[in-house]
Amino acid sequence: MESTIQNSPVLIYGEQGCGKTRHATALAKAFNKSTIVDEFIEGEGIELTEHDIAFTNVRPVNLPYIPFAFAMLSISQPQSSEQTTPPTALNTPPSLPLNQSEHSHLHTSKCTQDQASLNVTFSQPELPSAL
């Protein structure tokens, strides 16, 4: 059975500083996702749900993703009266379960834009311990 963007999480990969976080809200709206996960790292224990759009600057190895430049096409195209389906992920590796461990460095907050409520999760890097 083939999965679609509507009932799967969306993972967007782009280099650091390309604008993923700046355009996160617009991309979440374009892909009809209610939760934004910023600085997602594959295998770090976060299980994405069908409501999630996640952003990463670490190229995923075992998860399907959409390159940031292609994802931006979903918000730069004029809207028509007909709802269109965004493109599916470009690579489709086999599904692997993610580690279920907790990550205390993740924080979730809510924001509202255009009357659409979004959950936003920001990752704060762990600081190295003093030697």
Type of residue at 31: F
Placement of tokens 């190295």 in the chain:
128
How many other C-beta atoms lie within 10 A of the C-beta of residue 60? 19
74-100 average pLDDT score = 50
pLDDT, position 79: 54
Domain boundaries, the chain: 5-123
Find the helix or strand (DSSP H, E) in which 11 lies: strand 10-13
pLDDT, position 2: 41
Task: Using pLDDT thresholds of 50, 70 and 90, give the confidence band for residue 42.
Answer: confident
pLDDT tens, residue by residue, 104-131? 344 443 443 443 444 555 555 555 666 5
**At 52, is the secondary structure helix, strand, or coil?**
strand
pLDDT, position 75: 83
Nearest to 123 by CA among 30, 69, 57: 57
Type of residue at 118: L
Query: By percentage, how much of the chain surpasses pLDDT 90?
Result: 27
pLDDT, position 109: 39
